[in-house]
Structure 1
Amino acid sequence: MTDPDTLDAPEQERSPFGGVAVRELVRDVVAAFALLVALPLPWDHAHRGSDRLEIVLVTVLALLALAAPYLRRGGVGPSSWDVLTSRRTVAFACLPYAVVAVVYLVLDALAPADAAGGVGAGLAVGLAGAALAAAPRWTHTPAAVAGIVALGTLATPVAALVQGAPWAVTVVGTLNALVVLGVLWFTVGTYLRSGDLSAGYVLLALGGAVALELVLFAGGNLRPWFESVHGQRLGLLLLPVVAAVTARRVVDDATAAAGDPDDVRAARWVAVAVRAFGLVALVAAFVALVALVLVVADGVSVGRVLRLVVGVLMAGVAVAARRSLARDPRAGHVTAVGAACVIVVLGLVIVVARAGLGTQSNVEELLVAFGLPAVALAVLLVPPSVRELVASAPESPEPVAAAPVTEVAEPATGAVQVSAPAGSADETPAERTTPEAERASWSVAAPVATEPQAAPRTAARPLDATQQMEPVRVTQAPDSTQVLPPVREAPPAQAPGWTAAQAMDPSTPLADLARISAEAPHLRSYVAANPSTYPALLDWLGALGDPAVDAALRSRR
C-alpha cells in the first residue's frame, strides 16, 4: 500500500487515497464495515461483541491499523509513522482479533453440552472483516482455514453421538456436515486444485451472501442465529471467513484474466451460473432432508411439509437448469433465467411459511431462496460478454449431418465440387453418421499441384471470398479396425477464428471439434465439456495434463 512518491509529495498535494488501487480501497472499506457491524451482533448466547472488553479492544486496534496508511497519506502524523503504512503492519494488528475469535471457538468446543456457548454472527462477520484487512499472503491460508471449518463441522455429529443426543440431532448434524463439506469442496477446493476462476467467483459470492444475511437477520432478539459443536450444525456461518481469506488470491487472478477474449469470459460467467445452480440443488436437498427428519421424529406440521415439498421442487428445478445451461449456454440461457426466478418464488413460500423474513428462517433457507439464485441471475444477465453470446445464437439452427464429403477435381479447370450423399440434408440428429464413420472420411491425399482458381463449393462451412482451393483426391476409407489419431493437422492456409460457443455447441461437427483442439489450445476445456465430443478425442485431451481440461472431463461423469 505504500507509495513513496505520494509520501514525499508537498503537503498541499497529498491525498489520503493517492496511490491506492481501487481494489485495495474497496477491500479496506468492506473490512472496516464488517468490523464495525460485528460489535452489536451476538458472539455467543450470553454476549454481544460490544459487551466484551477484549472484543472492543481488538476491534479498535484493527480499525486503527486500517486507517493509519490513509491518515499518513493525508499528511497526519510525523514521518516516523511511515512504518504504519505497511500491509504487514496491518496484518499483525489484525492478528489479536483472530486469536480472540479462535479462543471463543475453542471454548465452545470444550464447554459442556448444556452450557450457553455457541458461535454467533458477530464472530463470523468480525473475523471475516479481520481476514479481509490482513489479506494473508501465505499460499496455504485458504486451505488451512477451510480445513479447520471442515473439522469443526465433522465434530458436530461426533459430539452428538458421544453425548447420547436423540437420533434426529445426530442425523441433522450429519446432514449439515455433508452440505458444508460439499460447499467447501465445490468452491474453495475446486479453486485451489485446478485454479478454476469460476469456482473462486462462486466462493466470494457465497461468502458475501451469507455475510449479508448475518448482518441483516442474525442479530434479532427473538431468535438470533447460533452454531455450536454441541448443536445440530456448525460451518455455514463461517463461510464468509473462508471467502475472506481467499479473496486476495481470487482478485489477483481475476485481474490477470481481465484481458481474456470475450468468448472466454462469457464461458467463465456461464460456468459460475452452472456452479450456482449446483449449489442450489445441494442446499435445497439439505432443507428437504432436514424437514423429513423432523417430520419423522417430531410429527407432521405445515411448515415442515412445505419445506420438504418446496425443497424437493427447488432441487429438481436447479438440476434441470444446470443441465440445460451446461449442455448449450445459448439455448439454455432462457431456461436458466426462468429457473432462477422460479426458485426465488419457491423460496418465498418457505420464508412466508416460517412466519416472516428474518430470524424465523435459517441461513440455508435464505441462501437457497435469494443468495444463490441472485448470483445466477447476475452472471447470466449483467456481463456484456454473456449477452453477446446469447445474441449470437442462430434464429433457426439446423444440425449438419456428419456425412462423408466427396470431392471431385476437374482436370480441365482445377475446380473443386463438393457434394454430400443424397438425403443427408434431411437427416435428423438421431440419424447422423457415427463418429467412427465421420473420422473415416477425414483421411485425404495431399493436394494436387495445379493452378488455383475460384470454384463453386457446397459445404458445411462457407469459403471466404478471397480463399482459393486446390483439388484433392479422396483415398479409400480405412476399415473399422484401423486406429485413427483424434486430431488431424489443419491445412496451413486456413486458420479460422474458433470461439467458445463453437467448442461447446453439441451441433458442431466432430471434425471441427478435433481442429479446435489442435488449433485453439485455450478452448480445449470447452471441447472436453461438449457432450458430442467422441471418445478418441476425449482420451487425447485427457493425456495432455491440462488442469482445466481435466476438470472439464471430470464434470462429464
Structure 2
Amino acid sequence: MTDDATPDAPRSPFAGAATREVVRDVVAALALLVALPMPWDLTHRGSDRIEVVLATVLTLLVLAVPYLRRAGLGAPSWDALTTPRGRTIGCVPYLLVALAYLVLDAVRPDAGEGQVGAGVVLGLAGATLALAPTWRPTLPVVAALVGLGALATPVMALATGDAWPAVVVGALNAVLVIGVLWLTAASYLRGDLVAGVVLLAVGAAVSVELVLFAGGEESPWFESVHGQRLGLLLLPVVAACGARRVLDDLAAVADDPQDVRAARWVSVAVRCLDLVMLVAAFVALVAMVRLASGSFGVSLVLRLIVGVLMVVVALVARRALVRDPRSGHTTAVGAACVLVVLGLVIVVARAGRGWEANVEELLVTFALPGVALGALLVPASVRELVASEPEAPDEPDEPAEVEETPTGALAQVDQPWTVSAPYEQTSPQQTSPQQTPYATAAPMDATQRIEPVRDASWGAVPGGRSGGDSTQVLPPVADVPGSPWSAAQALDPTTPLADLARIVQESPHLRPHVASNPSTYPALLDWLGALGDPAVDAALRARR
C-alpha cells in the first residue's frame, strides 16, 4: 500500500504554497501583531482600541485559513476565505480602520501634532501585504497620496501662522519624501527593476526602525500633517503596495546572464548612494535652519558637518562605481563603511536624549550603507566580476568606414525575458530569431551622407581622423516609435549599467551608441563585439 492510499497520512499546511507567498504571509502576520502594542495616536495604542483588535483578528484569520485547510483542519465552508475575493473581504476592515486614523489626523488641527503613530504604519503595511493587491494603479496612487501628505505639512504650517523654521523644515521634508519616492517607486513604475528592489529595502529598513525605536513610552515617534513632518514613516506602506510585483519581476529575471545580474546589483548600490546623498543633505539643511533660527547645540553642529561629509563620501563612491564597477568596488565598499562611522557620530551625540532618533538619521547611518554593502559583497556575480582580471586591450586597428546599410536591417538576439513595464512581463519568444523582426526606424535616403553624431556634452565621436580624411562616425539613428529607450539614453555616461544591458536587448538599433558609451562595462562590450554587426564593430574600434 502506498503512502497516498493511507487515510491517516499527515498533510502539510505548506504543501503547494510558493515560498515567497509563505514568507509574505509570515511578515504580514508579524506586522499586524507588532502593531497592536504600538502607539496609534498620542493617547492610544492599538490594543486599547476594540476596532483595531477586532480588525486584527479578522485579518490574521484570513491569513491562517489557507494553511489550516491544507493541513485538513476547519470546515469546507472556510474555503471561501482562501479565494482572492475572500481575502479582500477579510483585509478591507483593517485597511479602513487604519485609514480612518490618517483622516482624523488631517481633519483635527486642534488635536496637536504627532497623530500618526508607528502602530498605524505597521498595521497598514501588514494588511496591505496580506491583501497582496493586484490592482495595477495601487502603487502609484498610494505613493501619490504619501507625496501629497508631505506637501501638505508646509502648507498647514503657513496656514496656522507657524514660525518660519517650521515652514522651511516642512518644505525640506516634502522635498525629501518626494525625492525618495521619485528614486524608488516612480522609477520602478517607469520600468527600473533596481528602483523596485531599493524600494523594498527602504520599506523594510523603516519597518525595523519602527519596531525597535518608535514604540517607547518616553519618546515614541509620531508624524502629522499639522506637524513639521509626514511621509517617511509611511514608506513601508508604499513598499508593501509594490512588494508582490517587484518579487514577481525578480523571479522572472533570476536566470539572467551573470554579467547582467552583476550590473543589476551594482546599480542597486549606486541607487542607495543616491539616496544617501539626498537624506544626508536633508539632515545638514535641517540643522542649518535650526542653527539660523537661534537654536544652538553640539548635536546640531555635528549633524551639519557630518551631513556634508556624508554627501561628499557618497558622491565619490558613486562616481567610482559608475566609472568602472571592477576598479571602483573597493572604493565604494570603503566609502559605505565610512558612512556608517560618520552616521554613528550623530547617533552617539544624541545618546544623552534616550533612544529618540529620527528615521532619516538611522536610514543614512545603517540602512542605506548596509544595503549598498550587501549588494556589493553578497551576490556571487558581483564577487566574480571583481575577482576577474580586466582584459588586455588589443592593438588598435585602422578605423574602417561604416557601411551604409538600411537602418531597418536590425539583428535579432535571443531574448529570454523582458520586463517592458513593472507590472507586465512577456514570455519567451517561440519563433526563431530571424522570424521576429523589431520595429524599424525611418529608412535613410540613398543619397544621404552619414553625418557625425554629436552631443554638446561629448563633442566629436572619438576615433576620427583630422584634416581632409574621412571621419569614423556613428550613423544617425531615429528613435523607433514605441521603443522604451532613446539614443540620448544609450549615449549618456550616467545611464545605469543595468539599463545599458536592457537597451541592447530591447532596442537593437541603439547598440552602436551603447558600444560608444564610455560607461559601458567590459562584459557588455564583449557581448556586443560577438554580434558581428558592422556598425557596432566600428563603434568598438572607435573606443580604442
- Decide: shared fold, TM above 0.5: yes
Q: Is 1:217–1:358's contact at 8 Å kept on the other side of the alignment?
A: no
Among 185, 189, 192, which residue is 2:189 paired with? 192
1:231 aligned partner: 227
**What is the letter of the counterpart of residue 196 of structure 1?**
D
Among 25, 30, 35, which residue is 1:28 paired with? 25
The DSSP-based 3-state class of the residue aligned with 2:217 is coil
**1:60-113, CA deviations, whole angstroms, 9 ceiling, x for partnerless residues?**
110011001111111112222222222331222111111111111111011124
How far apart, CA to CA, are the structure 1 residues paired with 2:353 and 2:269?
Answer: 26
The DSSP-based 3-state class of the residue aligned with 2:246 is helix
Normalised by the size of structure 1, how large is the TM-score? Answer: 0.73
**What is the letter of the counterpart of residue 360 of structure 1?**
E
How far apart, CA to CA, are the structure 2 residues paired with 1:189 and 1:16?
Answer: 38
2:364 aligned partner: 368
Q: Post-superposition shift, 1:117?
A: 5.4
Task: Point out the more displaced range, 49-58 or 72-81.
Answer: 72-81
The DSSP-based 3-state class of the residue aligned with 2:351 is coil
Change (3 A) 1:530 1:368: farther
**What is the letter of the counterpart of residue 121 of structure 2?**
A
| 2:143 is the counterpart of 1:143 | no
**1:204-260, CA deviations, whole angstroms, 9 ceiling, x for partnerless residues?**
000000000000000111211000001010000000000001000000100111111
**What is the letter of the counterpart of residue 128 of structure 2?**
A
Among 255, 260, 266, which residue is 2:262 paired with? 266
Among 394, 399, 404, which residue is 2:398 paired with? 404
How far apart, CA to CA, are the structure 1 residues paired with 2:310 and 2:513?
Answer: 28
**1:16-75, CA deviations, whole angstroms, 9 ceiling, x for partnerless residues?**
111100000000000000000001111111111111111111111100110011111111
1:177 aligned partner: 174
How far apart, CA to CA, are the structure 1 residues paired with 2:353 and 2:18?
Answer: 38
**What is the letter of the counterpart of residue 216 of structure 1?**
L
Change (3 A) 1:106 1:437: closer
Among 470, 473, 479, which residue is 1:479 paired with? 470
1:328 aligned partner: 324
How far apart, CA to CA, are the structure 1 residues paired with 2:89 and 2:513?
Answer: 43
Alignment of 1:100-119 (within 5 A): 100-115=97-112, 118-119=115-116
Q: Is 1:156–1:173's contact at 8 Å kept on the other side of the alignment?
A: yes
Q: Post-superposition shift, 1:517?
A: 5.3
How far apart, CA to CA, are the structure 2 residues paired with 1:529 and 1:87?
Answer: 49
1:545 aligned partner: none
Change (3 A) 1:353 1:55: same
Q: Post-superposition shift, 1:438?
A: 2.2
1:527 aligned partner: 514
Change (3 A) 1:405 1:171: closer
How far apart, CA to CA, are the structure 2 residues paired with 1:518 and 1:185?
Answer: 25
The DSSP-based 3-state class of the residue aligned with 2:255 is coil
Percent identity at matched positions?
Answer: 64
Among 366, 378, 381, which residue is 1:382 paired with? 378
1:72 aligned partner: 69
How far apart, CA to CA, are the structure 1 residues paired with 2:288 and 2:54?
Answer: 45
| 2:55 is the counterpart of 1:55 | no
**1:295-335, CA deviations, whole angstroms, 9 ceiling, x for partnerless residues?**
11133210000000001101110111111111111111000
**What is the letter of the counterpart of residue 177 of structure 2?**
V
How far apart, CA to CA, are the structure 2 residues paired with 1:165 and 1:12?
Answer: 69
1:276 aligned partner: 272
Q: Post-superposition shift, 1:485?
A: 1.8
**1:358-381, CA deviations, whole angstroms, 9 ceiling, x for partnerless residues?**
732111001100000000000100
1:546 aligned partner: none
Q: Post-superposition shift, 1:278?
A: 0.3
Alignment of 1:295-314 (within 5 A): 295-314=291-310
Q: Is 2:113–2:227's contact at 8 Å kept on the other side of the alignment?
A: no
**What is the letter of the counterpart of residue 479 of structure 1?**
S
How far apart, CA to CA, are the structure 2 residues paired with 1:107 and 1:28?
Answer: 29
Q: Is 2:153–2:230's contact at 8 Å kept on the other side of the alignment?
A: yes
Over alpha carbons, which structure has the higher Rg?
A: 1
Alignment of 1:157-556 (within 5 A): 157-193=154-190, 195-355=191-351, 359-394=355-390, 404=398, 436=461, 438=463, 479-480=470-471, 484-485=474-475, 521=508, 527=514, 530-531=517-518
Change (3 A) 1:483 1:216: closer
Q: Is 1:277–1:318's contact at 8 Å kept on the other side of the alignment?
A: yes
Change (3 A) 1:437 1:57: closer
How far apart, CA to CA, are the structure 2 residues paired with 1:9 and 1:160?
Answer: 70
- Unaligned residue ranges in structure 2 (runs of 5+): 401-458, 478-489, 494-499, 521-544
Q: Post-superposition shift, 1:164?
A: 0.3
Q: Is 1:111–1:117's contact at 8 Å kept on the other side of the alignment?
A: no
The DSSP-based 3-state class of the residue aligned with 1:165 is coil
Change (3 A) 1:385 1:82: same
RMSD (Å) for aligned C-alpha atoms:
3.2
1:452 aligned partner: none
Change (3 A) 1:205 1:526: farther
Change (3 A) 1:437 1:231: closer
**1:237-293, CA deviations, whole angstroms, 9 ceiling, x for partnerless residues?**
000000001000000100111111000000000000000000000000000000011
How far apart, CA to CA, are the structure 2 residues paired with 1:379 and 1:114?
Answer: 44
How far apart, CA to CA, are the structure 1 residues paired with 2:271 and 2:183?
Answer: 8
Q: Is 1:402–1:438's contact at 8 Å kept on the other side of the alignment?
A: no
Q: Post-superposition shift, 1:398?
A: 6.5
How far apart, CA to CA, are the structure 2 residues paired with 1:314 and 1:329?
Answer: 21
Change (3 A) 1:17 1:532: closer
Q: Post-superposition shift, 1:437?
A: 6.1
The DSSP-based 3-state class of the residue aligned with 1:16 is coil
Equivalent residue pairs, number: 441
Q: Is 2:323–2:519's contact at 8 Å kept on the other side of the alignment?
A: no
